[in-house]
Amino acid sequence: MRSTSPTLFPGARLLRHVYSHFRLTHQNQIAYFWLKKADFTRTGADSCDSEGLIDHIPRHRAGGGGFACSEEIEPDLTRISLRSKSDHVNVNENRLRSLGGRGHSGRGGARIAGSPLSPPSAKSSPPQEGVSTAK
C-alpha cells in the first residue's frame, strides 16, 4: 500500500512541485519557478532539499536562455538563483551584483528583501549585515 505521508521523501515531493509549477516565458527562452514556505510545509521538505533544484529544470525545455528560482527563506527574505546556458546572457552582471549577489556569467544568486512572488523593486538593497549571499 502506498503511503501519502508528507514526511516520506520530502526532497522528491519538492522536486515534483517544481516540475509541476515551473513556467516558460519569452518564447520559451526562460524557465522560472518560485518556492514559498507553504510549499516546504506541504511537502515536509526543508531548505536543504531546495539546494540544486534549479538545475533540475529540463534544459531542453528552455530553448537557449536562462533559468530562475525564487525561494522564500524568511517572511521578508527571498533567495534568487539564476542560471544561463547562453554565452550571450550573463546572469551575474549588473543587477545581481547590485543586489549583493555573486556568481559568474552562467550561475549566480543573491538574497533580497521581499517575498518570492513580488518582483524586486528598484529600491531593493543588498542583504542586511549578517545575511550571507546565496551559493
* Among 68, 71, 78, CA closest to 131: 78
pTM exceeding 0.75: no
Can you give the pLDDT at residue 135? 40
Can you give the pLDDT at residue 41? 92
Fill in the amino acid letter for 4. Answer: T
Fill in the amino acid letter for 103. Answer: G
CATH top-level class of 10-113: alpha beta
Task: Round to the nearest angstrom and report the end-to-end CA distance of the chain.
Answer: 40
Distance (Å, whole) CA 101 – CA 79: 10
Q: Counting Cβ atoms within 10 Å, is residue 104 exposed (0-12), middle (13-18) or buried (19+)? A: exposed
Locate the domains of the chain by residue range.
10-113
Q: What secondary structure, in 3-state letters, does 34-71 show?
A: EECHHHHHHHCCCHHHHCCHHHHCCCCCCCCCEEEEEE
CB burial string 63-102: b at 16+ within 10 A, e below: eebbbbbbbbbeeebbbbbbbbeeeebbbbeeebeebbbb
Can you give the pLDDT at residue 120? 47
Show the low-confidence residues of the chain (pLDDT under 50).
1-2, 6, 62, 120-135
